[in-house]
Amino acid sequence: MSARHGPRSASAAIRAIREEATPPTLLASVQSAWAEAVGPAIAAEAEPVSERDGVVTIACRTATWAQELDLMQDRIVTLLNGSIDAVERGSATPSVRRLRLTADGSRFYS
């Protein structure tokens, strides 16, 4: 007779489903890692929206946020690549080379 294991937590089940549904692209990896890498304050004001050749476009609520995040770009890129590497260890997912910041408040006010 095998040992009975307790039920799996809902958060673990949801995380597993999300990981299976996430496409293996750099943008998807950045979007998954964004909130944890930059923290809740920045995540509430900016979001990754596109990627091309390692350059990730971040839509910010205001031009002020875009400017602030541009000044923090080196640190954010390092944090994102660290988060992506931790999640994607062993995959061929490329790294973020730099960020392109835009002010796009319409994404936040609907």
At 47, give phi and psi (nearest 5°): -145, 145
CB 59 within 8 A of CB 47: yes
In a domain, 46, yes or no: yes
For 80, the domain range is: 23-107
Encoded tokens for 25: 């692209």
CB 104 within 8 A of CB 63: no
pLDDT band at 108 (very low <50, low <70, confident <90, very high): low
Q: Give the CATH number of the domain where residue 84 resides.
A: 3.30.300
In a domain, 52, yes or no: yes
Domain count, the chain: 1
pTM value is 0.73
Query: For 31-83, what is each residue's pLDDT tens digit?
Result: 999 999 999 999 999 999 999 999 999 999 999 999 999 999 999 999 999 98
CA–CA dist 38, 98 (Å, integer): 15
Q: Under DSSP, is residue 1 helix (H, G, I), strand (E, B) or coil?
A: coil
pLDDT at 30 over 60: yes
